[in-house]
Structure 1
Amino acid sequence: MRLSRTLTATATAVLVLTALTGCGGDADEAGEDFGGGTGISGGAPKADGAPKADGAPKDGGDLPSAGDMASIEKFINQHAQCNNLQPFDDERSGLFDKEAKDPAFGIKERAICHDGTHNVITLLAISDMAKFQAANRAGEKHEVIVGKDFAVVPEGDNTVTALMAAKMLLLTCDPNDYQIPSGYKQLKGLAEGCVMTDYARS
């Protein structure tokens, strides 16, 4: 995923006020890759190498819930598009294909679908979110959009924007390479070193 956000430091109070009242911006029109390992680029790590996270309820708090594949598909279609749901990905075009077969990840089901411009969306029904986060941090450290008991990895920016507007959060488990600007949520994940945020950088 590559969402374009420009955070410009200013020298005058007027421009600071303008930046504070005008943040949010429109999502990029281009549907580019999201979640490819640590491929979300930009920003520098904090001095201590990890974002400081606020506490989050261990049950997922206010994150949306969708415990089976039909519910995940329905949730995405309420906010974006999830066309031609496929439980088997013969072309291996999505992510977490191998991980879905590994019990350590706590993935009970995986499927893919496509958005309106044919970008792949990977859907994951999660039986144990703590295990999923811990295994993801120990493995490829994919950046994914998470709910309480499911995860979604869209290739298109528009789907990312729509799902995060629907109260899903971005999960990052790479504390050395993800700086979250002030004012955005920084919630502790269910595994050490993982953070959930409403900030998706370019």
Structure 2
Amino acid sequence: MTAAVALTALTGCGGEADGGPLAALGLPKADDIAGIEKVINKGGTCRELEAGGIGPDAAKSLKEPSFGVKETATCKDEKGKFATLLLLSDMKTFQEANKKALESDPGFDTGYLVGQNFAVVPGSDDGAKGIKAAGLFMMSCNPKHKDRIPSGYKVNEELVKGCFVTDYLPS
């Protein structure tokens, strides 16, 4: 269940009437950065929260308006590595921008842990496992990532063709 949680979180936004495909996967939703922090702390560690930052493992382009990021923050995981928290205006917009960035730059990392309306760039593998345990799913727009998902895991591609969320998190 922990792997499924990480991927579902990434594709958070969907139709307003039914909560969308990410809500159907059981992904958490947050109203603000404090809400994201609370979700992460259910399975992982988010301490020394600071508003407005982008951690060293997150692409600086995430601050561009095309990604639909409303607010950013950083916090440290249990090993002191920075995680970047992204509150999104719309998950579909976020996925579309990531897909476009990957098409322009094949090295662009489109892997995030997501909820219904937020994404997290973990600072370490251990941090990623804890965040996933908080109920997030992994999101990616890289077809190589999708090809590596073993059978039996959930894969949802309802928002943007070529992007997906999954409960599988490679170890």
- Shorter-normalised TM-score: what interval? 0.7 to 0.9
CA RMSD of aligned residues (A): 2.4
**Greater relative contact order, per chain length (Cα 8 Å cut-off, separation 6+):** 2
Q: Deviations over 1:29-65 (max 9, x none)?
A: xxxxxxxxxxxxxxxxxxxxxxxxxxxx445322101
Q: Which letter maps to 2:82?
A: V
Residue 104 (1) aligns with residue 66 (2)? yes
Residue 173 (1) aligns with residue 141 (2)? yes
Aligned to 1:158: 126
State TM-score, norm by structure 2. 0.76
Alignment of 1:17-166 (within 5 A): 57-58=20-21, 60-61=23-24, 62-89=26-53, 93-100=56-63, 102-139=64-101, 140-166=108-134
SS of the aligned residue for 1:199 comes to coil
Aligned length: 147
Structure 2's unaligned 5+ residue stretches are 3-19, 102-107
Q: CA deviation at 1:189?
A: 4.5
Q: Rg bigger for which structure?
A: 1
1:88–1:107 Cα change, 3 Å: closer
- Normalized per residue, which structure has more helix? 2
State TM-score, norm by structure 1. 0.65
SS of the aligned residue for 1:138 comes to helix
Runs of at least 4 residues off by over 6 Å: none
Q: CA deviation at 1:96?
A: 3.7
Identical columns (%): 38
SS of the aligned residue for 2:135 comes to coil
Q: Do the aligned partners of 1:67 and 1:150 also contact (CA within 8 Å) in 2?
A: no
